[in-house]
Amino acid sequence: MPNNNQTALHAGLHRGIAELGLSVDSDTEQKLIDYLQLLVKWNKVYNLTAIRDPQQMVSYHLLDSLAVLPHLQAGRWLDVGCGAGLPGLVLAICRPDWSVTLLDSNSKKTGFVQQAIIELGLHNAQVRCARVEDVDASQKYSGIISRAFTELGDFLRVTRHLMADDGHWVAMKGLPDKELPGVPKDCTVLKIIPLKVPGLDAARCLVIAKPGEPHD
């Protein structure tokens, strides 16, 4: 990628991080750009994302994923339906002390994620190619997140066996109101957090849920 393009990507990412009020050091910013460049390169052959413009990827992929960071706690995270690694790889890059497992049933996408983990040197990330329903429940996760996996109720149901008793689900959504009636009775929605993603002119929010029935 030409240097002037990379400079523009750095500027857009740095400006967006500042707007989000996050503290991200220069090495981490560079690693995020390195990930983006890998995504651009692989996307030409494997069609990993419909967004082709790298500058647009900064907002729609990097900043959209970074916007959730202030609302997450340290722990063992599972990114279900990770696609090209969003938000899981962004979390792993920015939070090297967290453990992040990325899961998708599409081998083309998990192949890219595995290569990105290797090239970026992410020792805290691993990827699995499988359907979530088939994942062994012997290890539980303190946090399970999804960005574009399925409707809220289905997301909670199919991952329930992998959730620790004191863990939380985080669903990245647009406008989730129509999906709330589908929440299983053994899960409780704790809060819905509106997000403002720099450069993204679309409604974004987080739905935070936990196991257990709601109390009166």
Q: Is 52 annotated as a binding residue?
A: no
Q: Are 61 and 39 in contact (CB under 8 A)?
A: yes
Dihedral class, residue 47 (left if φ above 0, else alpha if ψ from -120 to 50, else beta): left
- The verdict on whether residue 170 carries a ligand-binding annotation is no
81 annotated to bind ligand: yes
| Contacts with 193 (C-beta within 8 Å, 6 or more apart), sequence order | 71, 205, 206, 208
Which tokens belong to 21? 């009020």
Measured N-to-C along each axis, helices 26-46 and 107-120 cross at an angle, to the nearest 10 degrees, of: 150
Q: How many CB atoms lie within 10 A of CB 175?
A: 11
Residues 6 or more apart whose CB falls under 8 angstroms from that of 23 comprise none
Q: What is the 3-state secondary structure (H, E, C) of 20-53?
A: HCCCCCHHHHHHHHHHHHHHHHHHHHHCCCCCCC
The answer to the question of whether 179 is labelled as a binding residue is no
By the 8 A CB rule, do 117 and 143 touch? no
How many Cβ atoms are within 10 Å of 211's Cβ, its own excluded? 17
76 assigned ligand-binding residue: no
In the annotated binding site, the residues are 81, 86, 132-133, 147
Binding residues for S-adenosyl-L-methionine: 81, 86, 132-133, 147
